[in-house]
Structure 1
Amino acid sequence: MIKNYIKIAWRNLLKNKGYSILNITGLAIGMAAAMLILSWVQNERSFDLFHHKKDQLFLVGNRANWGDKLQVWFYTPKPLGPAAKAEFPEIAHYSRYSDNSFLFSVGDKKLKGQGAFVDSAFLSMFDFPLLEGDKEHILKTPTEIVISQSLAKRLFGKEEALGKTLKIDSVDVVTVSGVLADMPGNTRFTDVEFLLPWKYMEKIGYSDDYWSNNSVQTYVELNPGISKEAMDRKIKDITKRHNGPEEDTEVLLHALPDWWLRSKFENGKIVGGRIDMVNLFTLIAVFILVIACINFMNISTARSEKRAKEVGIRKVAGAYRVSLIGQFLSESILIAAISGVIALFITWLALPSFGNLISRRLAVDFGHFQFWLNAVGFILITGLLAGSFPAFFLSSFQPVKVLKGTFKQAKATFSLRKILVVIQFTIAIILIISTLAVHKQIQYAKDRENGYDKNNVVYISEEGEVAKNSKLIKNELLQGGVAVSVTRSNSPITESWSNSNGFWWQGKAPNDKTLIDRMCADEHIVKTAGLRLVAGRDMDLTQYPTDSTAILLNESAVRLMGFKDPIGQLIKDNGIEWHVVGVVADFISRSPYEPVEPAVIEGAKGWFNVMHIKFNPALSTATALAKTEAIFKRYNPNYPFAYNFVDKAYAAKFKESEQTGTMAALFAFLTIFISCLGLFGLAAYMAENRTKEIGVRKVLGASVFSITRLLSKEFAWLVIISCLVAFPIAYWAMDKFLEAYTYRISLGWGLFIIAGLGALILALLTVSSQAIKAAIANPIDSLRDE
């Protein structure tokens, strides 16, 4: 019987090639779009879940009141890990993690690598495959290193890396004690190219025992059977015990499954994170698939009268309704299977580009049995969902009415088909409005005054000999006409690498623990970065030697400190008394979607990691870079010349939002395209149903335009109804979405009008093709049998 079903289904496909192509195209595009989204969803949900100890691994965090907010952060003091292991037998292992980059030398070959300092238990806690070496006996001495497979190949070529030696920063010699498989894309450690033992960090003086310095990540593995809640209660006071009675920081544990998806905290509690975006796009995948299935239903039932006599004859010949349902479901499953194969091919072709779009390595594992099991299940579900309504609808025809020629389709069924189109366009319009709102929000943040001049400014990390030769480098850049200003700082102007609630100023409330961003700069930061001076002056060590303890405040800091006349005020930090010499306008160093935090720029007694260079505008960028590289090569020959443009660094702040917006736009376009295919099917149905009416109208003198308008009017009303349903839903959804942004757009009527008009125009263009075709047909053909 099944063989017979498939044979008849195949013949029907070949008999109605045009409609079969429409059905298959709509389903294939919908299924491919859903597959692409679900591949991203699966990648997001799989982050770090491949570790077999995932239920025992936790990231240690801190929770404390800052100002009027209970904040959570996940950088901890360096001594916390060893202390927790010593004090709590529930902890099986711990590992601290501090990322860093070094220059590695093998003979004449010099390469930069990105990695981290870790404790010796790191590789026993996490399941990162070790291709060479023994996990139980590595990372225990300061003279060894574990490198990734790709770094090993870059350093040693085809030679075996295990046991080989290399130099770190042209100073220390270490031996390769292990080679790691390259990190997968679905882990928070994906950029790690090497692991150095914590003992080496201690050897070079990077470690410390200060409980007030939250500077590393700490991971702990609990013994089996130990609950997070019980451990939270025991460990929460560990910092208070070690740091004195004035310390109010509580320690908490963050479970591994929540690290990636649920990392947003409010008032000390998890309230969401990336999981919200994952759930949203999962819903979009479902919507696209449903729309594709509705499209299939509309096109299938549009051909209902063509199959009515077939159903009538089958019933007269003794066919039961259940066998007819089986026949029609077989057809839909066959179409879904063909569409599924095409969708898999589309997905395979599009996955690399889609991965580039979202900056993620995505792949389809065609060799895995589970993949094919999921694919078959996906196709069956799609086929059943798409074919359910046509199957039950077509099998319900009464043979007496059909064979007498008095068959008329029920008004309710006709209305249901229209409802399906309304649902399609409602979803499409919601997605269009959402896409427009996301792009408007991104542009709104881009257009925001950032407080500094991004153009023609680069920053370079002070690696190797740069710090020691900084004065010589600066003089050559200025005297050679390459730069108009050079400033050393502790962080790029586009980022904040340091903050504190320990500042003191006259009149500060005793319980005020507001965090203040801290930047350090030697001099001329206003000139170099193009900051806008509101009051006072820039720091200048030549004219004002005491500016080594000078400090600049931003406007938010002035408001926080309550200064009416800030110039000359004293501020204490890190045991130094700083004197205010200037006030600058607020500038964005964190998220462009959030208010600017209070910030200070401390003078030359601070510390420095970065050199900012304002190029001479008289030189081309290429010339300025070439001359700068030559100068750095002279004073720092062992390191490759690496630089970052400030404007590109600022633009990177929008990368994730732009990726989300692009994804939304792509799938909104596919949704409207599939919806238009559905309209095409319904238009074909309407034109077919009213062939004789159109013929009579033409005989009585109706014009092509009037007939086209008559057939298109009903579809215009469907889209208008869709708009009325979609607008309030979209407004509510986007208002909730924008609540996450303090600096946000207002949802004006413009977005809704553009989306509604766009959907209406596309719908009418789609319908008009069938309407015009019906209007210009020869009425003799349709009235011949009357």
Structure 2
Amino acid sequence: MNLKIAIRNLKKNKGFTAINMIGLAIGMAAALLILLWVNFQFSVNRTFPKVDQLFVVGTKAPSDNGIATWFSIAKPLGPVLKSDIPEIKDMTRLSSATGFLFTAGEKKLFPEVGAFVDSSFLSMFDLPVFTGDVKQVLKDPNQIVLTEKLANDLFGSTDVVGKTLRLDSTALLTVSAVLKDIPQEIGFAGYSYFLPWTFMEKAGLSDNHWGNSSVQAYVEVEKQANIPAIQSKLKDIVSRHSEIKVETFIKPVSDMYLYSKYENGEVVGGRISMVKTFILIAGFILLIACINFMNLSTAQSERRAKEVGIRKVVGAQKKTLIFQFLSESILMALISGVIALLLVALSLPSFNDLVGQKFQIPFADYKFWALFLCFILLTGILAGIYPAFFLSSFTPIKVLKGRFRQIQHKINPRKILVVTQFCVAIVLIVSTLVIRKQVQYAQDRDYGFEQQNLIYVSEVGKIADNSVSIKQALLSRNIATSVTRMMSPITERWSGWGGFLWEGKDPNDDTQFNRQTADDKVVETAGFELVMGRDFDLSKFPTDSSAAIINETAAKKMGFTDPIGKIIDDSGDKFHVIGVIKDFVQESPFDPIKPLIIEGASHWMNTMHIRFNPQLSTKEALERTEQVFKEFNSEYPFEFSFVDEAYALKFKEIEKTGKLATLFAGLTIFISCLGLFGLAAYMAESRTKEIGIRKVLGASVFSVTRMLSKEFLILVITSCIIAFPIAYWAMDKYLEDYTYRINISWGIFVLAGVGAILITLLSISYQSIKAAIANPVNSLRDE
């Protein structure tokens, strides 16, 4: 019976039903998309079978900004962890491996990234194995483990255990296992192959330097292990085996993804802040959609007043009516939920592109359907609870005698709900504007080098051996104006050290310096601005292999007023300063510039930077450059990166956040506009006779429209007054993560306020004008 009445009422009021369904469906779809993203965030690194026993090893040390914290260790510390601390059951180190050419028969591939790991790696993390014995792999230095995709790409099959492949032109490796493609919620998903740590040592790629924190390390502790006791034993383990004064600690692997931000040695958050923010946004969007339902339901109160009155007269109890109206809202939520699921399925590919993930709706999982039904039930009750009590409270005598009228209070629940809607919408509008302005502010920052016509190439294969010939060919053929080799791409920091020594250094100075290396013409090639001194020039000055160029911040940190000729000691290697360059952005454009020392060619280099001849088109320059590399490194494909594109990637995360904020702000505004439409419909309906009398007495269409619009504008202005302080507080907290940040100006709030008012006028104009131009005869005719 209740279902029949509910369906009849939905059919009877098709317009309001359609608006309700659209609002609820969009709100539910947006909430579902966010919850898919949130579920992924909470699952990262939490699905390992032994997750409670797995920890990542971290390091703390004094710095010029308090206690610095990082999650890498020196290579020799790995075995010591297991031998010195009985509670540690197993240990593995992990170091990224890139630049290897894989050859299997006639097939040659250049996988992006793999890892060197200890033999305990797979058994500790229980990564899903397709074929092979996990207990026996990665012990022999001539073994390799492939992922399912790489095995198929190389051999066209996953049945490859025992088959061999060639690594570069020297090493022959036997495939000892094939892993299933690693799920994206596991932190190792980016790796396509794993090599034994013993291979790294055999190839001469390892070191025993205790001051070089360059690899990740993970430990598996015994069940029921006393973690505080382990922390105590770990604290000074490095200083017990070396002269390096740092503190070692462990952190649960499950917390690493969400809680990665440290200040002064203590965890203060990380991605969890963003996750909590989007949970709130999902809740607010769903709430706004439910508020629309409430407003549109109560807007029809007079239409259903007689129905309530008659049903009460014939014996219906209030709880029966409440159940009836809740049944209607749950039915509406069910229909909207189905539409929302369809919207999610249609929009999921675009959403995946936006967030950089591959989410799927788990249709085959019964838990999903159980949660989805609970989600619908919760939404239906939330949306229908206020209308149910409101409509069931009508007095039968007043309704049936025609004396039922809703008194227009200055403050009533419906207006409060609309103000709440627009408060959320305005906060999101301000947030979107602030994030976009912050991105633009960082993008406009002087990055300190010339990005155009500059590429870099990783020195794989025989590039390093033939670097002189490659340079000469690029320059003599007018392909490049200058070429330099460096440790890392100009936009990345691969090395840092706080143990530099110089004349006059304070013994308590713990400043951490970025370290780079380069050979010839680094200033010219990178387009740095030389403040004093000169560029590296090995042809004129062979001693430049032990020279150094520093940035302005380094000169200030060292207290040098005249740095040229000063000596800098790097673990016994001495470098004489020949130049000072203007600060440039090497790491995050949102952080202050760190002191940098570019050491001469006596230290290792891994990347070649090429400044193209501006007289050539980019296409021609790349084609001719590829020919040069094919001459001297024929077995490897020519792969390169544009420096300007690499620099642009630094903004990827915040731009993604900005796009998400824009998307959900737009949805919130749209749903809020539906709410305004509903309120406008209610007000126009409840004031029909008043409007008719005003028109009979000579009121113009404009004055009636202004009268109706005025109340809405007051609501929106009230929302602005409430929302602006909240938005300022929220964005100020958000910008605390960025040292190089904007100041939140009043112009942002003016723009948001004006936008909200214009949106309001557009939303209510139809109902207001429709009511103003209606024939007063129809509105004043009595039944």
Q: TM-score band, normalised by the shorter chain?
A: over 0.9
> What is the deviation of 1:208?
2.5
Deviations 1:589-608 (A, max 9, x none): 01100110010111121211
The reply to whether residue 646 of structure 1 matches residue 655 of structure 2 is no
* Superposed displacement of residue 694, structure 1: 1.3
Higher deviation after alignment, 770-779 or 443-452: 770-779
Secondary structure of 1:70's partner?
Answer: strand
Which residue number in structure 2 is paired with residue 129 of structure 1?
128
TM-score (norm 2): 0.98
Cα deviations by residue, 1:560-602 (Å, 9 ceiling, x for unpaired):
1111111121212242221111110000101100110010111
Bigger Cα displacement from structure 2, 311-320 vs 735-744: 735-744
- Which whole-Å deviations, capped at 9, do the CAs of 1:61-97 have from their partners, x for residues lacking one? 1111123511111111112221111122211111111
Residue in structure 2 matched with residue 737 of structure 1 by the alignment: 734
Cross-structure match for 2:456: 459
1:632 pairs, out of 609, 612, 629, with 629
Q: Report how far residue 679 of structure 1 moved.
A: 0.4
Residue of structure 2 equivalent to 1:199: 198
Letter matched to residue 622 of structure 1: K
Alignment match, 1:162: 161
Instruction: Tell me the SS of whatever aligns to 1:233.
Output: helix
Equivalent residues in 2 for 1:716-755 (5 A)?
716-755=713-752
SS at match of 1:486: strand
Aligned to 1:112: 110
Deviation at 1:456, TM superposition (A): 0.8
8 Å contact kept, 2:148–2:158: no
CA distance in 1, matches of 2:174, 2:154: 13
Deviation at 1:546, TM superposition (A): 2.1
SS of the aligned residue for 1:453 comes to: coil
SS in 2 for 1:178: strand
Q: Give 2:684's match in structure 1, choosing from 683, 687, 694.
A: 687
Distance (whole Å) between structure 1 residues aligned to residue 573 and residue 547 of structure 2 = 10
Distance (Å, rounded) in 1 between the aligned partners of 2:229 and 2:551 = 44
CA drift at 1:530: 0.5
Larger mean Cα displacement after TM superposition, 698-707 or 394-403: 698-707
Deviations 1:270-305 (CA, angstroms, capped at 9, x unpaired): 110000110011111101111111111001101110
1:595 — aligned with what? 592
Structure 2 CA distance, aligned partners of 1:455 and 1:228? 52
Which of 687, 698, 707 does residue 704 from structure 2 map onto?
707
Give 1:410 deviation, angstroms. 4.2
**Matched residue type, 1:110:** K
In structure 2, stretches of 5+ residues that fail to align are none
Return closer, same or farther for 1:760/1:445 CA change in 2, 3 Å cut-off.
Answer: same
Q: What's the counterpart of residue 555 of structure 1? A: 552
Q: Structure 1: which amino acid aligns with 2:105? A: G
| Mean CA deviation greater in 297-306 or 201-210 | 201-210
Alignment of 1:200-219 (within 5 A): 200-219=199-218
Question: SS state of the match for residue 216, structure 1?
Answer: strand
Tell me the amino acid that sits aligned with residue 210 of structure 2.
W
Q: Deviations over 1:23-67 (max 9, x none)?
A: 000000001001111111110110011101111100011111123
Aligned match of 2:150: 151
Q: 2-side partners of 1:140 and 1:410: how far apart?
A: 82
Cα distance between partner residues in 1 of 2:151 and 2:593: 43
- Give 1:159-558 correspondences, 5 Å limit: 160-244=159-243, 247-411=244-408, 415-558=412-555
Is the Cα–Cα contact under 8 Å of residues 115 and 192 in structure 1 kept in the other structure? yes
Report the equivalent of 2:775: 778
CA distance in 2, matches of 1:413, 1:45: 45
Match of 1:661 in 2: 658
Query: Which residue does the alignment assign to 2:80?
Result: 83
| Cα shift readout 1:647-687 (whole Å, capped 9, x = no counterpart) | 00000000000000100011011101101100000000000
More moved, 724-733 vs 413-422: 413-422
Q: Distance in 2 between matches of 1:158 and 1:584?
A: 53
Contact 2:148 2:181 in 1 (8 A): yes
Which residue of structure 1 aligns with residue 569 of structure 2? 572
Name the SS of the counterpart of 2:593 in structure 1: coil
RMSD: 1.1
The answer to whether the 8 Å contact 2:6/2:327 transfers is yes
TM-score of the superposed pair, with normalisation by structure 1: 0.98
Letter in structure 2 aligned against 1:198 = W
Deviations 1:250-269 (A, max 9, x none): 11001112110001111111
Q: Which moved more, 1:192-201 or 1:709-718?
A: 192-201
Which whole-Å deviations, capped at 9, do the CAs of 1:617-672 have from their partners, x for residues lacking one? 00000000000011101111111111000000000000000000100011011101
Confirm or deny: 8 A CA contact 1:59 1:74 kept in the other structure. Answer: yes
Equivalence for 1:46: 43
Q: After the TM superposition, which parts of structure 1 deviate over 4 Å for at least 4 consecutive aligned residues? A: 410-414
Q: Counterpart in 2 of 1:613? A: 610
TM-superposed deviation, 1:227? 3.1
Equivalent residue for 2:18?
A: 21
CA contact (8 A) 1:50 1:127 kept: no
Give the Cα–Cα distance (whole angstroms) in 2 for the partners of residues 272 and 391 of structure 1: 42
Q: Do 1:595 and 1:743's aligned partners in 2 also have CA atoms closer than 8 Å?
A: yes
Contact 2:552–2:595, Cα closer than 8 Å, also in 1: yes
- Aligned mates of 2:407, 2:227 — CA distance in 1: 61
Aligned twin of 1:140: 139
Structure 1: unaligned runs, 5 residues or longer: none
The answer to whether the 8 Å contact 2:626/2:638 transfers is yes
Residue 224 of structure 2 aligns to which amino acid in structure 1?
G
Give the AA of the match of 1:442. Answer: V
The answer to whether the Cα contact below 8 Å between 1:687 and 1:770 also exists between their aligned partners in 2 is yes
Three-state SS of the structure 1 residue aligned to 2:51 is coil
* Partner SS state of residue 55, structure 1: helix
2:61 is aligned with 1:57: no
Q: Deviations over 1:515-553 (max 9, x none)?
A: 111111101111111101111111111222222222111
CA distance in 2, matches of 1:656, 1:159: 35
Give the C-alpha shift of residue 412 in structure 1.
Answer: 5.3
**Aligned-residue offset at 1:411:** 4.4
Distance in structure 2 (CA, Å) of the matches to 1:78 and 1:784: 90
Q: Tell me the SS of whatever aligns to 1:745.
A: coil
Give, in whole Å, the separation in 2 of the partners of 1:159 and 1:72. Answer: 41
Q: CA deviation at 1:158?
A: 3.4
